[in-house]
Amino acid sequence: MKKNHYGLISGVCKIRKSKFLKRMRIVVLLILITVTQTFAVDGYGQSKRLSINLENETIINILENIEDQSEFYFMFDASRINVNQRKSVDCENQPISNILDQLFENTGITYSINDRQVLLSTTKKSDTEQPKAISGKVTDSSGASLPGVTVVVKGTTQGTVTNADGEYLLANVLENTILQFSFVGMKTQEIPVAGKTNINVTMDEETIGIDEVVAIGYGTKAKETLTGAISIVDNEMLENRPATQTTDLLQGISSGIQITRANTGNIRNSTNEITIRGVTSRSAPGVLVVVDGVAQSSTDARALDNINPDDIENISVLKDGQAAIYGARAAGGVILITTKKGKSDKPTIKFSSSYTIQSPALIREPCNILQLVEMHNEGYVNDGQATNTYTPVANYIAANNITFEEVKKNNGEHIVTAPFGIAYALGHYDWYDIMFDPSPMYNSNISISGKTDKLDYYESVNYFKQKGMLAYGKNYNKRFLITLKNDYSVTNFLKVISNFKVGNQKVVEPFNYSSTTSSTASSTTSFYSLNKGVQGALFFNFPTNLPYTSGGHYYNMGGLHNPIGYAKDSGNTTDLFYIINGNIGVEITPIENLLFYAGVASNYNIKETDWANIGFAMYDYYDNYNIMSTNVNQAGVEYYRDRYTTATAYLKYSYEKFENHKINIMVGYSHEENDYRSFSAYRKYGLISAELPTMSMGDSDYQYNSERKTDYALKSGFSRFEYAYKNRYLFEAIFRYDGSSKFADGYKWKPFWGFSGGWVVTDESFMENTKKIIDFMKIRGSWGQLGNQSSIGLYDYQSLISLSGSYPMGSYTSPTQVQSAYLGDMASTTRTWETIESINFGLDLTALNSRITSSFDFFIKDNKNMFYTEEYPSVLGTTPPTVNGAHVRTKGWELEFGWRDKINQLNYFIKINLSDNNTKIVKLSDSAIPSLGLNTFVEGNPLNSYYGYSYDGLIQTESELVEYMANFTSGIPNNLKVGDARFKDLDGDGKLEALAYDLDENGSPSSTSGDLVRVGDANQHYFYGINLGANWHNFDCSAFFQGVLNWDVVSTVRPCNQYYQPIEEYFYHQTWSEERTDAFYPRLSQNNAVKNYNYQYSDAQYKLYNNRYIRLKNIQLGYTLSKRITDKINVDKIRVYISGTDIWESSNLPGNQDPETPFTLSVTPFPRQYSFGIDLTF
């Protein structure tokens, strides 16, 4: 029997032979059984029967005998219960209560049974057990009184607060209780009553977070001794935020990290893009994600979203030279995920579940039919076409005085025959309301964790189900994940570490749901290539289009297809994902302070896709057959498998023999390899049944297949040296040597270095007088090299022959099909690693007893040998290779500020982060000439620069028009009219030229000058996050905002884009006319030359917007039930909450737009999420 002593008073005896601990040794096999048993224990104490026959035996031995043949375990105060008394027990097949009654007769011991737990106590009452009053005074380290200190009886809600003199009085306190003293900025203290009636306390200051242990590359480090720019997202910031994807947790929560979301409402094709400290390479290195020390193969959001958010303990982001420890894959920054592990000797079971309603929002608002006809007709009339496509409809509306209220009746009373015999039924159908409904989403997670002297375990199961907001057809997402994490200490120097994750996911949506749409389709763009699929058909659909004909068929008008038909009857795409990740390693500590680790990890990601494209018929207003969605039925399958394997070994040694000196050394080696295989096949025509659209039912004469296999490897040696003197002067050096299979011999290997240092200023004697204000201040700096090999071909150093289609060869009477081959891209035999140098200077500060926490960083990232493709004459006949021929530099800064305080029983905090960075193209091997529009890389310019004309207002009179036209000999349409735009001829040559405006050495326009100026860039600037939280008694609340202060975006939307296309409502009556001379937009026109001229790239207020916005990412209110209630039902904690995600935003964009994806007329509405959840801890 083992004694576990609590506090300074007594102990609790507990049997060593805990059967639960035996089970945990095989927890990988029995986790589900364990969880099930945990919830089905209520009747054990009543139903279990035992047989005991012992004579003259000590009570302690009898208790051990009971535990050996049951799941009961006994707890008692060893200083007060005499378990050495001898007793005899003779019971056959008796319940535990009968046995204990016999055992404890005349012993002065009584008992209480709570399921399998039996608590022993004495029947003797002493004076010290009677409730009494406790008083005292609380002071700080200087002796000053501390008002507002919370004093509570631990484990209860009984408490008080110290008065203005720091004094307190607490009545009705039992002898065997513990008093807990807490105050913001001070270390919490717990003091046993233990016979005392007066307890005075001196509280010590606490610097929040300084002692926090932070994950760094291949190890951990105290936050106090960090010398690099590392952002930390701790459990407090993660725990209560309901999220189904890890990327949702990170957006806006930390400085320097940008997460851009797109098509959020589409559950299969939504995307998240992650960047850290801007872009410093054209090859998009992505972000390296490391989970519990294991690098992931993917460098995009998938690497994060494959992790169950409920499993995450904390996140560290390496943003500067500290990332050099990961060398080859660290160019875009490193995100380190640390998952949860067992913390308590007692097994802890946590269950969380949430139910969410996704509500369609930011729904596109096209004009109603009356507005649409008016605007299209006005555009034609402005161009001199008084009789046009819309004339019959416009005349009918005017002649019958039709109002929108009349149109909304949708009664089919008003039918107009337009050109080509098309019947317009003047009605109003809100197609976005028809196609999208609120939909549910469920997320449940259960975990069990704990630790013993041998085993540390954490196991979890997650189930997630989401129904798409699409009202028709099949559209859902299901995911199931299991995590099994166990660390087992075989001996006192050998530990086995294992971490396994398996899961699957199924996503179903209608075929071609996300077919491409374009809001700026030119006159040469085929309309019939754009109106397919759910999104394409909905994008072009007129509000007059009926869902169904009178005969119940899918309705269409002209070439406008029916989105309901695509959702219900055009076939589906089904994706099946399988995740199998395993990591096993050993830690050996042969001598003190020396640790050796070796481990191997393998990640399998498998995807299977089945798809079918089935045609369906559509009918006109009179229920006559009109058109098929496709005449080519098809079905196919796709398969891909990605296998990523890593082997890592390192040796770490800590030396602290010298006083005040600490040295840590680490050396290691890693090997990574990835192999990929994909296969696809499909058949066209002849599908026997649309009800069973499998590939085998297609025509074997029209079958196609393809296959792809690739692999690559990376070998690395790495090391780190750390030195600290009194934890005041800090130094760190990093070295890594990487070799990649992607480069030719002689260019495969590259060394990368990193150095950093820190100075804890507050430890200096000259800072002594500031300590009442400044708790901690550290200055740090770093320099490091980050390698990049991303986005280049795996075999670019070799000349490859590519195979293409087959062609008939030989006799024309009996030709033979011969597969063709051609020479691939040019080989790159001298290209080597990009090397990005990172410089960072930072300051960390906490003040006012840790009420204030802040940090500031300034950084420069320099890529002097960026991959770039030189321009060659077109006669080259192939694609030239990328070379190390460009120089790109990013400069930026980051600020984080936090305030935490307490007002009586109200605890609150505010955390703010603000960041900015600017990327400049310093040099290109062949400088590109700026052109009209978006210029990604132009020497001397910021990344993603917009070049456009200088806007000079709208032409208001005929005289202005004549003067403007007379000033130009070329570059503008010859059919401009009053109400069109004017642009400045900056070089004064009478031509509006799409060349950069340039001045010579005399300050005059150069001979090559045009009229283009840089009007902005497409990068986000001054992006921020605001995190607010508070708790009062058992209530807690939080709110999180995210946004951007400056973001230049160009509108790609214009009215009357095509005569068959809807118009956004925000244009209505906002375009120039004789009645609206102060209009925001130019006059309406159906002429492509005029439209292209008016809406070309410029700094016009209707073309270029500052898309500053703020979004309420999450708001939540929670309540934790009183422990008096939870104790009665054997639950440690119950918390319920309501939450809203993405429920509000404010921006200056026109119309109903998602500010994160401006002027992208994605027809899947943006989802607002309203959740109810519960968290249980056992």
Q: Tokens at residue 259, please?
A: 């997460």
CB 1176 within 8 A of CB 1133: yes
In 506-603, which ranges are continuous DSSP H helix?
533-540, 563-569
Is the predicted pLDDT of residue 126 greater than 70, yes or no? no
pLDDT mean over 347-364:
94
The separation between CA 1054 and the C-alpha centre of its own chain, rounded to angstroms, equals 33
Q: Tokens at residue 597, please?
A: 């680790």
* CATH numeric code, 2-124: 3.55.50.30
The separation between CA 34 and the C-alpha centre of its own chain, rounded to angstroms, equals 32
CB 247 within 8 A of CB 231: no
For residue 1086, what pLDDT band results from cuts at 50, 70 and 90? very high
Is the predicted pLDDT of residue 212 greater than 90, yes or no? no
* CATH numeric code, 128-202: 2.60.40.1120
Check residue 534 and give its pLDDT.
87
Per-residue pLDDT of 430-459, as tens digits, reads 999 999 999 999 999 999 999 888 999 999
Per-residue pLDDT of 74-93, as tens digits, reads 887 766 788 888 888 888 88
pLDDT mean over 1019-1035:
93
pLDDT mean over 349-371:
93
pLDDT mean over 159-165:
85
Strands, sheet with 159-161, edge to edge from the N-terminal-most edge strand: 159-161, 150-153, 178-182, 189-192
Nearest-angstrom CA–CA distance, 651 and 589: 10
Dihedral Cα 1123, 1129, 1130, 1136, nearest 10 deg: -60
pLDDT mean over 748-764:
94
Tell me the torsion sign for CA atoms 274, 280, 281, 285: negative
User: CA distances (Å), 45 to each of 18, 73, 89, 103, in order?
Assistant: 17, 11, 19, 17
Give the domain ranges of the chain: 2-124, 128-202
Closest to 1062 (Cα-Cα) out of 551, 472, 430, 487:
430
Check residue 927 and give its pLDDT.
65
Largest Cα span, the chain = 121
Closest to 1114 (Cα-Cα) out of 494, 205, 239:
239
Q: What is the pTM of this model?
A: 0.81
For residue 375, give the H/E element and its range: helix 369-382
CB 318 within 8 A of CB 333: yes
Length of the chain in terms of residues written: 1178
Closest to 466 (Cα-Cα) out of 608, 266, 260, 242:
266
What is the average pLDDT score of the chain?
Answer: 86
Per-residue pLDDT of 1090-1138, as tens digits, reads 999 999 999 999 999 999 999 999 999 999 998 888 888 888 899 999 9
pLDDT mean over 670-698:
83
Give the whole-number percent of the chain exceeding pLDDT 90. Answer: 50
Count of other CB atoms within 10 angstroms of residue 302: 16
Closest to 323 (Cα-Cα) out of 295, 358, 297:
295
pLDDT mean over 712-716:
93
Nearest-angstrom CA–CA distance, 1058 and 525: 10
pLDDT mean over 723-738:
94
